[in-house]
């Protein structure tokens, strides 16, 4: 899951910078550290803290938009088709990704030779 956490952190960074710029990203991390003692490296395991910080600063609507943009980027990075689910939070999308990635792939059945 380390690779997934690194990919998720990168997706968060790139999405937040794309929406709020580098200053917005730095502000988010400073706020997270001050209020929740969460560092960038710990963020994938503390998404609720990030969402609470975003909601406190921007409200629920913008937080949903930012969350969905992060999820969309994560799915794209992992070559997974993104399906917008209005009731799903970022943590829900990440849980869904983990489920997809951990799902054992089923090998195709060997072709049977025709008898005759």
Question: What pLDDT, in 10s, does the model give residues 10-40?
Answer: 999 999 999 999 999 999 999 999 999 999 9
State the pTM of this model: 0.85
Q: In CATH, which superfamily holds the domain spanning 2-101?
A: Protein of unknown function DUF3227 (1.10.1200.200)
| Separation of alpha carbons 87 and 71, rounded Å | 13
Tell me, what's the pLDDT at 103? Answer: 82
Quick: pLDDT tens for 61-85.
Answer: 999 999 999 999 999 999 999 999 9
Domain spans of the chain? 2-101
Query: Is the torsion defined by CA of 83, 89, 92, 75 positive or negative?
Result: positive
Angle at 8 between CA 57 and CA 14, to 5 degrees: 60
Q: Which residues contact 16 (CB under 8 A, 6 or more apart)?
A: 24, 25, 28, 66, 70
Report yes or no: 78 and 101 within 8 Å, Cβ to Cβ. yes
pLDDT-derived band at 1 (thresholds 50, 70, 90) equals low
């Amino acid at each position: 899951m380390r690779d997934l956490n690194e990919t998720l952190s990168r997706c968060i960074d790139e999405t937040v910078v794309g929406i709020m710029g580098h200053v917005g990203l730095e502000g988010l991390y400073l706020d997270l550290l001050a209020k929740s003692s969460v560092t960038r490296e710990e963020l994938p395991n503390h998404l609720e803290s990030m969402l609470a910080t975003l909601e406190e600063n921007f409200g629920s609507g913008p937080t949903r938009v930012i969350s969905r943009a992060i999820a969309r980027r994560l799915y794209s990075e992992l070559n997974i088709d993104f399906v917008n689910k209005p009731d799903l939070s970022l943590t829900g999308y990440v849980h869904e990704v983990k489920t997809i990635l951990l799902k054992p792939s089923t090998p195709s059945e060997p072709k049977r030779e025709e008898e005759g």
